Amino acid sequence: MLEAQSNPMGKTWAVFIGNTNYLTLSSLAGTIKDVQTVTDVLANYQIDRILVKQDLSLEKMKAFFSSDLISLLRENKVRSLLIWYSGHGKFINETGYWIPVDAVRDDESTFYRMDDLKNELKKYAVQLSHILVVTDACESGPTFFQAMRSVPAEPDCAQTDQATRNSYQVLSALGYDLASNESLFSKAFATTLADNIKQCIPVQTIARKVTLAMIKNHQDRPQFGNIAGLKNEGGTFLFYKK
């Protein structure tokens, strides 16, 4: 396949969710800019399709991940997937949540559980070799995130087995409450991709540079590791330039 030969990651899609106009929480005008900043940079990389979803309600968020997206991935034989969320988030009783635009303040039943996303991703993993979840909202929680025993080494893109072995990873901003209107996290992620002069950059390198930027600006250290409950085989998410 020509596509697989040009991009060892195979057909690669990126899905962005930007929640801005909340009914009971403060609006986040910055999420639109954050998503645009990252998608603009990704235009220089081998991403076959970028989907942008805005202002998802709880019902729409559940439907998108449980049926709509998985159908699109199957129909188009996608192999690698980036899921990015920008918006309000919550971290309650060891569980991370994405906040839909119709959520009721302080009512957890109206929030989207990261654990529910994890259960959907288990179905995706039947087809997908690589999944990277980036959440620019709050900590994803220990039931979603599997902490690394040590700092992960940054792989060499010349090692093609990194793309052939499965990987299911998460990079999450670390916060315990609502997102701010200015996202240093998104800016650092986009800047790392924009400044990359190599043909390929692994997510470990991005995670390291984003972490350094956050610490330099006195922000909490992001989380990076594997998605709990999915069988990682030692691969990783690699971004290849066009």
Each residue's pLDDT tens digit, 46-80: 999 999 999 999 999 999 999 999 999 999 999 99
Q: Would you list the domain boundaries of the chain?
A: 2-240
Class of domain 2-240: alpha beta
Report, as ranges of residue numbers, the positions in the chain whose pLDDT lies below 50: 1-5, 176-178
pLDDT at 161: 79
Residue 69 near residue 14 (C-beta atoms within 8 A)? no
Adjacency order of strands within the sheet including 223-227: 49-54, 12-18, 80-86, 130-136, 167-172, 223-227, 145-146
pLDDT at 156: 81
pLDDT at 40: 97
Q: How far apart are CA 84 and CA 86, in angstroms?
A: 7
pLDDT at 84: 97
Residue 179 near residue 137 (C-beta atoms within 8 A)? yes
pLDDT at 152: 63
Strand partners, 90: 97
Q: How far apart are CA 178 and CA 160, in angstroms?
A: 39
pLDDT at 3: 43
